[in-house]
Amino acid sequence: MTARLGAWLDERVGWRKIWEAIFLRKVPKVNWFYTLGSATLFVAINQAVTGILLTIYYVPTPDHAYDSVQFITTQVPAGWLIRGLHHYGASAMVILSVLHMLRVIFYGSYKYPREMTWFTGVGLLMLVLGFGFTGYLLPWDQKAFWATTVGTRIAEVVPVIGNWILRIMRGGEELSALTLSRFHGSHVWVLPALLVTLLGVHLYLVVRLGISSVPKSEE
């Protein structure tokens, strides 16, 4: 029965070819440094799951954001664990992404025919940094407020368009409720949509082109 059902589905969706391409493909002999990409993907999944759970209770307004975070930490069952996983997972994701990129550079995995894999990886790193920056403001405490004030002020030094970038990020001259709303919207809608799209392309290229083997020294 199971075999017949599998054959029926395979004729219509071709799942066996997909399974073979992803799980039965040949992988060159590598070392533990090659697991950094998978580790980053695992942390990204953790961030997605814990982030969705946090949005159930988080209120993105200046008069309720801080209190909602405190409520999650102290009153929601296992809320402290969920917030802790999301908080430290953000730092872990940045560290793992950077280490993964350094491994790619060190081993020359960005060379032909994997240039597009490299470009999408750079884009993913930028998105990860964007997640860290936009998420830092959401607790709306003193540290988050002043760190974001400094971070957005850095954008102002860009020649010609610096002040325009600052106003786009803040929604005005100063940090306000609109700033919190923009950062929250970017963090939970814009950046995740871009991440899923670019990650899908990146993983497709990894499966399509394979991974590079460990460079060998010439005799």
For the segment 130-172, what is each residue's pLDDT rounded down to a tens digit? Answer: 999 999 999 999 999 999 999 999 998 999 999 999 999 999 9
pLDDT beyond 80 at 219: no
pLDDT beyond 70 at 38: yes
pLDDT beyond 60 at 15: yes
Confidence grade of residue 84 (pLDDT, cut at 50, 70, 90): very high
Taking alpha carbons only, the member of 87, 116, 117 closest to residue 100 is 117
- CATH assignment, 30-209: 1.20.810.10
pLDDT beyond 70 at 213: yes
pLDDT recorded at residue 22:
84
Q: In 10 A of CB 202, how many CB atoms?
A: 21
Selected residue with higher pLDDT from 33 and 23: 33
pLDDT recorded at residue 218:
57
Residue ranges per domain, the chain?
Answer: 30-209
pLDDT recorded at residue 216:
79
pLDDT recorded at residue 188:
97
* pTM for this entry: 0.92
Per-residue pLDDT, averaged over 114-124, amounts to: 97
For the segment 163-208, what is each residue's pLDDT rounded down to a tens digit? Answer: 999 999 999 999 999 999 999 999 999 999 999 999 999 999 999 9
Q: What does pLDDT average to over the chain?
A: 94
pLDDT beyond 80 at 217: no
Per-residue pLDDT, averaged over 49-76, amounts to: 97
Confidence grade of residue 27 (pLDDT, cut at 50, 70, 90): confident
